[in-house]
Amino acid sequence: MTDAISFEVPWDRTDKFDPPAIFDELREERPLAKMVYPDGHVGWIVSSYDLVREVLSDPRFSHSCEIGHFPVTHQGQVIPTHPLIPGMFIHMDPPGHTRYRKLLTGEFTVRRTSRLIPRVEAVAAEQIEVMRAKGAPADVVTDFAKPLVLRMLGELVGLPYAERDRYVPAVTLLHDAEADPAEAAAAYEVAGQFFDEVIERRRQQPQDDLISSLVTEDLTQEELRNIVTLLLFAGYETTEGALATGVFALLHHTDQLAKLRAEPAKLDAAIEELLRYLTVNQYHTYRTALEDVKLAGELVKQGDTVTVSLPAANRDPAKFGCPAELDIERDTSGHVAFGFGIHQCLGQNLARIELRAGFTALLRAFPGLRLAIPADEVPLRLKGSVFSVKKLPVSW
């Protein structure tokens, strides 16, 4: 093959719902291509479905931030430092990753999360009443999606919603590529101090939540704090973004919304299609080659950084016919919106329950739900680890 051409991390979208157009070109011509990160580091970007799954399931590619170069997706990014942060198992390989994940897996099974369904539905109903009380136009993001997801995640983990101002800013800023790095670091420190306080409260007065369970395990304070941090950072803005942006997609694609209203039983299939179509989880899925690996005709050398694009994989026409179309009746089996391999999203069952409750509540409560502003005026968060709407004003 000819020498790979380097290009910078892509952000710009030509369509509000489509990943950067360059991914279509790369997938066709060079599904494994060289990429330049904002700090000047050169790595690889993977854009085809099969290659993404191959990299994410191959043990020759490590997810440890102690190995190789930790990828920077935007200038000023606040990133973990060496050595590895105890408890931050998303950046670990087995056996460390396995040890921490086993402590949590039982809380996120289909069976365990199913017991939360009545509570999720109740919270969704409460947020509907907030929207009614406010009156049209209401913002699906601030009045519904954010509080629904944050309240449920907080109840499960043990983070009081009433004290959200002490930890939510950290999540928002660290997911935002345009945030001031000093402000993000300060918010991260404030959140960590708050988590320490909550952990101590649970030591003194255990409750029916995950923190109360974790404090009984053989974990240091630092490990506990970082596990809580990871659960919040992984489970809040991703699910909130999928819900609010999913509502936007349905309101924009009126034919698909009509199908769903006519046959509510298609909701689960619609959710999977929205997860595939939007793939809000953008650029932080990376690996480091532990040895030289021949991949797609290229030699990935030991120590090279390989970033996989989940949005690009979910738009691969070799896997999903007419991938740029939203089709709630398509077969979405095998989509990688939640990742793939041993690092596949731990909280995906909870996310699906929250999405189901959220869409159901909105569509039942507001038969005339519609955008309150033109679709092209809906503000989008394009630069950051999560793609989503910033605001979604609606009427009914």
Residue 117: which CATH number? Answer: 1.10.630.10
pLDDT in tens, 124-148: 999 999 999 999 999 999 999 999 9
Please enumerate in sequence order all residues whose Cβ is within 8 A of that of 81, keeping only pairs 6 or more positions apart, or say none: none
Q: What is the spatial distance between Cα 144 and Cα 67, in angstroms, rounded to a whole number?
A: 40
On whether the CB atoms of residues 252 and 375 are closer than 8 A, the answer is yes
- The closest of 12, 69, 77, 6 to 36, measured between CA atoms, is 6
Full strand arrangement of the beta sheet holding 286-289: 7-8, 32-36, 42-46, 305-308, 286-289, 61-62
Mean pLDDT of 308-322: 97
Helices of type H across the chain:
22-29, 49-57, 96-105, 110-114, 117-134, 140, 146-157, 168-175, 181-204, 210-214, 221-235, 237-252, 254-262, 267-278, 310-313, 348-365
Instruction: Kindly tell me the burial class for residue 321, based on how many C-beta atoms sit within 10 Å of its own C-beta (0-12, 13-18, 19 or more).
Output: exposed
Classify residue 347: in a domain, yes or no: yes
Classify residue 380: in a domain, yes or no: yes
pLDDT in tens, 172-212: 887 777 778 888 889 989 999 999 999 999 999 999 999 99
Question: Domain residues for 157?
Answer: 7-395
Mean pLDDT computed over every residue of the chain: 91
Q: What is the spatial distance between Cα 306 and Cα 344, in angstroms, rounded to a whole number?
A: 17
Looking at the DSSP assignment, which residues form a beta bridge with residue 307?
A: 45, 286
pLDDT in tens, 248-266: 999 999 999 999 999 999 9
Q: What is the spatial distance between Cα 245 and Cα 65, in angstroms, rounded to a whole number?
A: 31
Which of the four pLDDT bands, split at 50, 70 and 90, describes residue 7?
A: low
> Is pLDDT above 80 for 77?
no
Q: What is the spatial distance between Cα 219 and Cα 100, in angstroms, rounded to a whole number?
A: 10
Classify residue 128: in a domain, yes or no: yes
Please enumerate in sequence order all residues whose Cβ is within 8 A of that of 182, keeping only pairs 6 or more positions apart, or say none: none
User: Looking at the 3D structure of the chain, how many domains does it have?
Assistant: 1
Can you say whether the dihedral through the CA atoms of 359, 361, 365, 371 is positive or negative? negative
Classify residue 293: in a domain, yes or no: yes
Classify residue 1: in a domain, yes or no: no
- % of the chain at pLDDT higher than 90: 75
How crowded is the C-beta side of 374, counted as CA atoms within 13 Å?
2
How crowded is the C-beta side of 53, counted as CA atoms within 13 Å?
10
pLDDT in tens, 81-104: 455 788 888 888 999 999 999 999
Q: Which pLDDT does position 211 carry in this prediction?
A: 97
- The closest of 254, 268, 240 to 381, measured between CA atoms, is 240
Instruction: Kindly tell me the burial class for residue 322, based on how many C-beta atoms sit within 10 Å of its own C-beta (0-12, 13-18, 19 or more).
Output: exposed
Residue 301 one-letter amino acid: K
Q: Which pLDDT does position 284 carry in this prediction?
A: 64
Classify residue 96: in a domain, yes or no: yes
**pTM of the predicted model as reported, rounded to 2 decimal places:** 0.93
DSSP state of 85: P
Measured CA to CA in angstroms, residue 387 lies from 176, 239, 305, 381 at distances of: 10, 11, 22, 6
Classify residue 275: in a domain, yes or no: yes
Classify residue 2: in a domain, yes or no: no
Give the number of other CB atoms < 10 A from CB of residue 334: 13
Q: What is the spatial distance between Cα 146 and Cα 244, in angstroms, rounded to a whole number?
A: 8
Q: What is the spatial distance between Cα 240 and Cα 150, in angstroms, rounded to a whole number?
A: 8
